[in-house]
Amino acid sequence: MSEPTHEVKLTVNGVPHSVSVPARRLLSDCLRHDVGLTGTHVGCEHGVCGACTVLLDGEPVRSCLLFAVTVDGQSVTTMEGCRSAEGGLGPVQRAFMECHGLQCGFCTPGFVTTITAFLRDNSDPTEEEAREAIGGNLCRCTGYQNIVASVLRAAEILREGAVE
């Protein structure tokens, strides 16, 4: 017996997509398998690790705790959408590279999306605010210090960009 499917329209990183998925398709799997963007990583699938974090209409959410069908018609920004407009590394990605904010990189997409939204709302965070902002994302490699530094560096890069 084949499972019934639903037509779901999503705007992913500004590009409209239409997919046909069963109701139980998680947004994380929809992005990876149906839309074909594997930048969104899947760790725990119960909301704890934060690797799957994407922006839904601009706000960070766990894509592993959403059904694609629920967000039909909405806009999603993934790691791929955090690149610079010219296609190179985006400001947060650049900061991660400069500050060694990643090692294996498994957790990085969730950090990059979370930090992108955070810096949009708070362009000049204190170190404590930076720590709080990434409190819901787990990293098994870096020990976090370099990620905190990356948040502060990304804020700097963004402010420099705003001045130019």
Partner 1 sequence: MKPPAFVYHRPGSVAEAVETLAELGADGKVLAGGQSLVPVLNMRLAAPAALVDINRLGAELAFVETTADRVRVGALARHAQTERDEAAFAALPLLRQATRHVAHQTIRNRGTTVGSIVHADPAAELPAVLMLCDGTMELASAGGTRSVLVADFFLGPLESSLSYGELALAATFSLPPPRTGSAWVEVSRRAGDYALCGLGLTVSLDEDGRISRARAAYISVGPTPVLVDLTDAVAGQAHDAADWSAAGALAAGKVDPDEDIHATADYRRHLVGVLTSRAGRAASAHAAKAADR
Which one of ligand FES, partner 1, ligand FAD, none is in contact with 36 (Cβ closer than 5 to 8 A by kind)? none
User: Both tokens of residue 1?
Assistant: 């017996």
> Toward partner 1, which CB reaches closer, 10 or 161?
10
CA 31, CA 44: separation in Å to the nearest integer? 16
Please give the residues from 24 up to 43 whose contact with ligand FES meets the rule CB under 6 A.
Answer: 42-43
User: Both tokens of residue 53?
Assistant: 């974090």
CA 59, CA 130: separation in Å to the nearest integer? 17
CA 79, CA 101: separation in Å to the nearest integer? 15
Which one of ligand FES, partner 1, ligand FAD, none is in contact with 114 (Cβ closer than 5 to 8 A by kind)? partner 1
Strands (E) located in the chain:
5-12, 15-22, 53-56, 59-62, 75-77
At closest approach, how far in Å is the CB of 88 from partner 1? Answer: 27
- The residue number whose beta carbon is nearest to ligand FAD equals 47
Give strand pairing partners of 8: 19
User: Both tokens of residue 157?
Assistant: 């890069």
Please give the residues from 42 up to 101 whose contact with partner 1 meets the rule CB under 8 A.
Answer: 45-47, 50, 53, 56, 59-62, 64-67, 69-70
Site for partner 1 contains 143 (CB under 8 A): no
Strands 53-56 and 15-22: what pairing? unpaired
Site for ligand FES contains 109 (CB under 6 A): no
Site for ligand FAD contains 48 (CB under 6 A): yes
List contacts with partner 1 (CB under 8 A).
3-4, 6, 22-24, 26, 29, 45-47, 50, 53, 56, 59-62, 64-67, 69-70, 114, 132-133, 135-136
